[in-house]
Structure 1
Amino acid sequence: MLKVHSRCDLACDHCYVYEHADQSWRGKPVTMAVETMAQVAARIGEHARSQGLERVHAVLHGGEPLLCGPERLSALIRALESGLPGDCELDLHIHTNGVLLDRRFCELFRAHGVKVGISLDGDRAANDRHRRYRDGRSSFDKVARAIELLRTGYPDLYSGLLCTIDVRNDPIAVYDALVSHDPPAIDLLLPHATWDDPPFRAGETDYADWLAAIFDKWLADGRPVPVRTFDSIISTSQGGPALTESLGLEPSDLLVVETDGTFEQADSIKIAFDGAPETGTDVFRHSIDQVAEHEGVAARRRGRDGVSATCRACPVLESCGGGLFAHRYRTGSGFDNPSVFCADLKELIEHVQRRISVPRHIVPHAALRSIAAGQGTVEALTILQRGQRSIRRALITAVRDQVGPSPEWDLLRRVEPAIVDDVFGHPYNRVWAVGRLRHPDRRDDGRLAALACVAAARAGMSATLRVPVRDGAVFLPTVGRYEVPDASETTVEIRSGEVTVERATAVRRVRFLDVGGHRLLVEDQDPLRDRHRRPAAGRLTDEQAGHWQAMFDAAWDLIATRCPEYVPTLTVALSTVVPVEGEPMGSSVRDAFGSVAVALPPDPETLCLLLLRETQRMKLGGVLDMLQLFDDRTSTVSADTERLLSDSYARLAVTDFRRRRPGGQTITEAATDVDVILASGSLTRLGREFVEEMRGTLDAWSA
């Protein structure tokens, strides 16, 4: 943030520069010298080269930057552009109150690709509450005229509107007024306040209530414009990155250069105390790398470790991040406090999460780290299972909404929800639901009716359903296949938990493998099991089933002997094995969590490796279903990157197993791939933590 002018033509009474504790603006040059800007550019270029940056974001700010005038502003922009490396892109913005904006400025900004953000607090009544000239005149008409100029004449420069919240204003009137200007984005900013100088409020959650009213209308309107506060909460609630400095745990990368060339921390800290943002550094004597080591600057890049103990124990920390750093200040404890808006932020985040139906399955940081480090704890794997249960329930409910009322749903509604969830838990039910939602015109395969029959039987109920016959049979998941030749439909009766299929000529019950006290379903009949890289094998003979039991016994014993800590997590994660044809191999698919496909190898050790590897892939898929490890805002995210992470994570278990055998070995390929992923620039903060934890495990093994 480059402070090109230190004075302002308005006298907004909520301004953090002129109306709060720090008054250092009085001793600053009115305008930044061109020579100072050239030195700023040199420092940015130096930093871009040392850090390998391909892009730099810069904001021309004030005071009011347009007070520089077009000629001076043009000279400052040219000085900034000329000092940057040729391979470093400059993303240049200007933040203005808009009252001086005219075509001269707009033509200048178009020539240099400068995006323009304007401050507006809503309709005339809301804006005039604070944003007036020193003599009390309204600034609204001039600001509205500037926005219209951008919207109609220079839409390529229009970047959005910034609104400072006042809960005395009507939230819907403010929202409607902002949206009426067709902004590309809206920022709704909490007024600056600290525990020493708290914000105006009549109730504990005034600001949450005010924002929630706008959120509900914004959501009902179909989210017509990005609103950074709301979009950030939605993103972080789903495991993605924070989209604003005031929320989330993303490390802050904001540095301020004042008109005299001094480096300062984020200028919002001016509200804390006089001199609060000072670093004692400047562009003439210090590099940006040196400034980054300053305690105040570094404190805002520590993520979870940089917030108070109260915040670290809060369930919405990932979305809140402790709030804006400046809002945490209290005399005596400094910034080691929750935000003065703590109650508002928690209430707002929980409101947004309820409205967008974010699954209430929080993945604690310790649980995620345990999964990233290798096998994961039982508690962590149980959390993934709960997440999968929610996903399956949501998908099957979506199928219900698609097909409408039916006898199957009527029957399922009578069954205890826990039993329904258990029946829905068969891995290939998600495959079925996804297929039905993608192809709603596909004929009914009877799966839903089959699930209703199984649920009623487990509940010990009595019921009768007509069920479609497909390929000469009715398949009841986890029960078996009933042969019903020469029929398109049949009747299934459930009496006190017993199932009878009318006209069935044979029943092939499902088989199980009992290994180490854990029961695995052998899925060799489900019509939906054929989703792997090899064709699904047919029904196992009794002799083949005996061989599978012996091989799995030996493999399970070997895992228990060599890597015993993997057994509990395998027991939680793995429920189903699908026999496939061909040479020895293992496979897992994202939509069938809990299941792995196996072409049986000749020896137990190879089977161990297949089971461990595919269970790892399955666990990573469960993580990716709940959390966003990849930053989809970057151009580097691809299926190949995700595949590389899946391969690397699978190798963790393979490496662990192999290194523990006599004369054990370490696979250096795993470490190499992890380094490639870390260097890709495609990870969110959470994703980087995950991969760094993987790297830490490999480093520990190497040591």
Structure 2
Amino acid sequence: MTAYHRLPATLLSGLAASTGGRGASRALAEAQLSKHLLLIANLLRRWSGPAADRDRIVHALEAARAAASAEAARVLGSPLVGAWVAIVSRAVAQGRAERDDVAHLGAVAAVTCAAARVDTEMTVPVRDGAVALPGVGRLAVGEARHARVTSAGGTLTVDAGRGPVTVTGAADDGWQPVRTLVAGSGTVRAKLALDDVDPYRHGYHAPPAPRLSAAEFAHWQELFTEAWHLLTERVPYRAAEIAAGLRALVPLQGDGRSARSATIRHVFGVFGLTRPATAADFAVTLVHEYQHAKLSALLDLVQLSDPADERRYFAPWRTDARPLAGLLQGVYAFAGVADTWRALRGVPGVTDAAEQEFANARLQVAQSLATLEGSGALTPVGARFAAHLRHFTDALLAEPVPTAVARRAEQRQRQLHERWRAANAT
């Protein structure tokens, strides 16, 4: 019998009210693990390489899951494994997959076995002169086409014809580990990979940044520590769900003009961003993009809007006309943004900016949510979702703000609508 993931009504209503908590984050992550496993199984069924390699991978994954299911699940459910399997599955379906991309599954299997302390040996491809081990790091090996990756007693070694190299946690000759941002303590401790080496970390509206210098990484860590303190002090319920579901960040190349961030629809637990200017901006970006991630993962489980609806709508955060699903994404993300700016109004040095950003964001959410509610294109579940979100939004609107701040928000909204109408005039 096939088992389907179903969110309990309480978790669904919690997510609809813009938060959801640790339980919802864990439930969404479990569903994503199942999706990854289904996609990996499909790749194995359509495997075009040597049958012995396929059989070795199947045996290794089964042994790892049997020996240490939680440790194996953490690797197989990781976001950059999800990014790889989504990219490759689309390529396979379109008949344009490259063999080395599919063969990356050998590296996934080796890392999974190491996490589960299962011994195995895999043949993996060399890309751009390096072997990539998902979630672990990248080793420069030169011009070899393939390498052997061995898991023994939980330790990984790589041999590309020049003798085995043991993978360690510290940077070494040719070895670039995935570094980790850490902040907080106890139940609100955050631990996020800052992955600047994985070959499948692309797909955002800006290219991924190359390897960060030690000084640049230290700057990220400093900002993250400050941002996490703001979240745990001001919006601890958001810090808790982010800690439970977000696992990695991908630094992006900036354009020199403004900060950028984005979440990929089919990949949960990671998003890309340029380094934020301030800790407050970092805190809001964490909430903003995790809102997108939660909703995208939820849409793998339930249908909230009618996919046949082809109309386009005004979204006050963009000048292009948006489909209903895109409008829903924006409403949900900016509900979290408004809530976070509301909480940051009392932070010294941030108060005035937070007050205006709160007023702007809540007005954007309220007007766009009204568009959703009046569209007639929400499913029954989507209508219930919108009703919970309306209750949350009304609470935001009930917060008093200075009259001048409210007027500036209203004027800004009118100007945005005028620009949108001009850009979309027929």
Q: TM-score range with shorter-chain normalisation?
A: 0.7 to 0.9
* 1:355-434 equivalent positions in 2, closer than 5 A: 357=2, 359-403=3-47, 405=51, 406=54, 407-417=56-66, 418=69, 419-434=71-86
Q: Deviations over 1:481-533 (max 9, x none)?
A: 01110110122222211111113662111100111122111110011101111
Q: Which residue of 1 aligns with 2:378?
A: 683
**Contact (CA 8 Å) 2:113, 2:151: kept in 1 or not?**
yes
Work out whether 1:591 is the aligned partner of 2:247. Answer: no
**Contact (CA 8 Å) 1:560, 1:567: kept in 2 or not?**
yes
The amino acid across from 2:292 in the alignment is R
**SS, match of residue 493 in structure 1:** strand
Work out whether 1:541 is the aligned partner of 2:213. Answer: yes
Q: Which residue of 1 aligns with 2:318?
A: none
Work out whether 1:626 is the aligned partner of 2:301. Answer: yes
**Contact (CA 8 Å) 1:586, 1:611: kept in 2 or not?**
no
> Which of 84, 98, 115 is equivalent to 1:442?
98
**Contact (CA 8 Å) 1:629, 1:688: kept in 2 or not?**
yes
Output the CA distance in 1 between the equivalents of 2:40 and 2:123. 20
Output the CA distance in 1 between the equivalents of 2:307 and 2:263. 24
Deviation at 1:636, TM superposition (A): 4.6
Are the structure 2 counterparts of residues 465 and 659 from structure 1 closer, same or farther at C-alpha, using a change threshold of 3 Å? closer
Output the CA distance in 2 between the equivalents of 1:543 and 1:380. 36
**Contact (CA 8 Å) 1:555, 1:604: kept in 2 or not?**
yes
Deviation at 1:648, TM superposition (A): 0.8
> Which of 191, 201, 205 is equivalent to 1:519?
191
The amino acid across from 2:6 in the alignment is I
The amino acid across from 1:514 in the alignment is V
Which 5+ residue runs of structure 2 have no aligned equivalent? 166-172, 314-321, 399-426
Q: Which residue of 1 aligns with 2:282?
A: 607
**Contact (CA 8 Å) 1:490, 1:501: kept in 2 or not?**
yes
Output the CA distance in 1 between the equivalents of 2:217 and 2:308. 49
Output the CA distance in 1 between the equivalents of 2:200 and 2:310. 35
Deviation at 1:444, TM superposition (A): 2.2
Q: Which residue of 2 aligns with 1:700?
A: 395
Work out whether 1:643 is the aligned partner of 2:326. Answer: yes
**SS, match of residue 626 in structure 1:** coil
Q: Which residue of 1 aligns with 2:421?
A: none
Deviation at 1:637, TM superposition (A): 8.5
Output the CA distance in 1 between the equivalents of 2:235 and 2:199. 35
**Contact (CA 8 Å) 2:266, 2:297: kept in 1 or not?**
no
Q: Which residue of 2 aligns with 1:477?
A: 134
**Contact (CA 8 Å) 1:586, 1:596: kept in 2 or not?**
yes
Output the CA distance in 2 between the equivalents of 1:465 and 1:654. 45
Output the CA distance in 2 between the equivalents of 1:633 and 1:598. 32
Greater per-residue helix proportion: 2
Output the CA distance in 1 between the equivalents of 2:65 and 2:43. 20
Output the CA distance in 1 between the equivalents of 2:26 and 2:118. 29
* 1:72-471 equivalent positions in 2, closer than 5 A: 354=1, 357=2, 359-403=3-47, 405=51, 406=54, 407-417=56-66, 418=69, 419-440=71-92, 441-445=97-101, 446-471=103-128
**Contact (CA 8 Å) 2:209, 2:251: kept in 1 or not?**
yes
Output the CA distance in 2 between the equivalents of 1:603 and 1:594. 22
Are the structure 2 counterparts of residues 457 and 623 from structure 1 closer, same or farther at C-alpha, using a change threshold of 3 Å? same
Output the CA distance in 2 between the equivalents of 1:633 and 1:438. 23
Deviation at 1:397, TM superposition (A): 1.1
Structure 1 window deviating more from structure 2 (366-375 vs 437-446): it is 437-446
4+ runs deviating over 3 angstroms: 632-639, 662-665
Q: Identity across aligned pairs (percent)? A: 31
The amino acid across from 1:562 in the alignment is R
**SS, match of residue 470 in structure 1:** coil
Work out whether 1:569 is the aligned partner of 2:241. Answer: yes
Are the structure 2 counterparts of residues 607 and 551 from structure 1 closer, same or farther at C-alpha, using a change threshold of 3 Å? same
Q: Deviations over 1:198-236 (max 9, x none)?
A: xxxxxxxxxxxxxxxxxxxxxxxxxxxxxxxxxxxxxxx
Output the CA distance in 1 between the equivalents of 2:230 and 2:394. 25
**Contact (CA 8 Å) 1:559, 1:567: kept in 2 or not?**
yes
The amino acid across from 1:397 in the alignment is A
Output the CA distance in 2 between the equivalents of 1:388 and 1:424. 10
Deviation at 1:655, TM superposition (A): 0.7
The amino acid across from 1:456 in the alignment is C
**Contact (CA 8 Å) 1:631, 1:637: kept in 2 or not?**
no
Are the structure 2 counterparts of residues 637 and 397 from structure 1 closer, same or farther at C-alpha, using a change threshold of 3 Å? farther
Output the CA distance in 2 between the equivalents of 1:527 and 1:634. 36
**SS, match of residue 46 in structure 2:** helix
**Contact (CA 8 Å) 1:428, 1:591: kept in 2 or not?**
no
Q: Deviations over 1:100-140 (max 9, x none)?
A: xxxxxxxxxxxxxxxxxxxxxxxxxxxxxxxxxxxxxxxxx
Greater relative contact order: 1 or 2 (C-alpha under 8 angstroms, separation 6 or more)?
2
Output the CA distance in 1 between the equivalents of 2:263 and 2:8. 26
Output the CA distance in 2 between the equivalents of 1:386 and 1:494. 26
The amino acid across from 2:128 in the alignment is D
| Number of corresponding residues | 347
Which 5+ residue runs of structure 1 have no aligned equivalent? 1-353
> Which of 340, 344, 369 is equivalent to 1:657?
340
The amino acid across from 1:576 in the alignment is A
Deviation at 1:453, TM superposition (A): 0.9
The amino acid across from 2:89 in the alignment is L
Output the CA distance in 2 between the equivalents of 1:386 and 1:674. 29
**Contact (CA 8 Å) 2:310, 2:323: kept in 1 or not?**
no
